[in-house]
Amino acid sequence: MPQHHKLLERGSNIWSDDSIRLILTPNNNAKKIYFYPQEIGYFKTTYPYFSERQYLYSFLIVYTLSGKGYLEYNDDIFQVKKNDCFFINCNEHHLYRTDKNEDWEFLWIHFNANNAFEYYNEFTKNGFKIIHCQDRYFWEETLWQIMAIQQARDITTDAITSNLINSMLTQLIIRNITDNDDFFTIPKIHSKNRKRNRQKF
Phi, psi of 194 (to 5 degrees): -65, -45
- Please name the helix (run of DSSP H) or strand (run of DSSP E) that holds residue 62, with its range, or none: strand 59-73
Tens digit of each residue's pLDDT (9 = 90 or more) over 17-27: 999 999 999 99
Please write the tens of the pLDDT for every residue from 95-147. Answer: 999 999 999 999 999 999 999 999 999 999 989 999 999 899 999 999 999 99
Q: What is the mean pLDDT of the chain?
A: 90
Q: Is the pLDDT of residue 187 over 80?
A: no
CB under 8 Å to 14, separation ≥6 — which residues? 45, 46, 47, 48, 49, 98
Percent pLDDT > 70 in the chain is 87
Q: What is the Cβ-side half-sphere exposure of residue 168, based on CA atoms within 13 angstroms? A: 35
- pLDDT of 134 reads 85
pTM: 0.89
pLDDT at 201 over 60: no
Residue type, position 169, single letter: L
For the segment 24-53, the average pLDDT, to the nearest whole number, is: 97
